[in-house]
Amino acid sequence: WGDDGHYSVCKIAQGYFEEDTVVAVKKLLPDYADGELAAVCSWPDEIKKLPQWRWTSALHFADTPDYKCNYEYSRDCPKDWCVTGAIFNYTNQLMSASVNSQSIVHYNLTEALMFLSHYMGDIHQPLHEGFIGDLGGNKIKVHWYNQETNLHRVWDDMIIESALVTYYNSSLPRMIHALQTKLKNGWSNDVPAWASCQINQATCPNLYASESIDLACKYAYRNATAGTTLGDYYFVSRLPVVEKRLAQGGIRLAATLNRIFSAKP
């Protein structure tokens, strides 16, 4: 996602934090966040091109083999070096510190929180598990209405931007409020299932990645080959998928952090 997507995921998550999570997150956030997790959720994108952070740039996605439309950790996350592995890794770092504050290994837990929150958003963007051959849609040049772009950017940014202009008076808080309302009404029966993982698992990114490539094949790639002009039909039919993925990302980030910070030694 772009900045608006990441802000939305983290803002939605904040509304589902349990008390222990509110306290722990507040302690870990840098001062400039001013107590808002959402304020730092794009930080991993801001730094990923800097020489000292270039090693993080492959952790934003887990590309999958062309046209397979499925995801497998051992195949698609070699050496744990992908968004799924990163979510496991930063979850484990925060968890071991939460369980044992005397831990000998000292990770930078502020960075761990910011990476985990960002990658939990990215893994829910269907094209972050898109095909290797087209770099998750980056190589598929399309028009979004009359604007030249690529399919990946349509899903990271353009659908959200168009939704803001068309339905929310260009106000991101209004869009977030609409998603929060859907979570309390239309999606309320689904939320517990979205939040849950296999027993004893703090997070389940393999599931989120599998859902993403399924949605990428069914909605993102469909009728969006190179050179296509995407317009009203694509926008109206794909926006519900984007909205649901932002909401699921928020719920799962909150659920993961709640499990991390409620863990007792």
Chain contacts with ligand DCM (rule: CB under 6 A): 57, 60-61, 63, 73-74, 80, 85, 88, 92, 127-128, 135-136, 138, 152, 156, 206, 215, 240-241, 244
Query: Which CB atom, from 11 or from 60, has the smaller least distance to ligand DCM?
Result: 60
Distance CA 35, CA 215 (A): 34
Contact between 238 and Zn ion by CB under 5 A: the answer reads no
Give the SS3 label for residue 159.
helix
Closest approach, Cβ 19 to ligand DCM, in A, equals 26
Residue pair 87/112 in contact (Cβ under 8 Å)? The answer is no
CA–CA separation, 43 vs 199, rounded Å? 31
Nearer to ligand DCM, 29 or 84 (CB): 84
- Here's the x/- map for Zn ion, 112-151, by CB under 5 A: it reads as ----------x-----------------------------
Residue 28 has phi, psi (to 5 degrees) of: -85, -25
Residue 156 as a binder of Zn ion (CB under 5 A): the answer is: yes
Residues 6 or more apart whose Cβ sits within 8 Å of residue 213: 64, 69, 70, 71, 126, 129, 130
241 binds, among ligand DCM, Zn ion, none (CB under 5 to 8 A by kind): ligand DCM
- Nearer CB in complex with ligand DCM: 66/80: 80
Cα–Cα distance, 36 to 26 (Å, whole number)? 8
11 vs 152, beta carbon nearer ligand DCM:
152
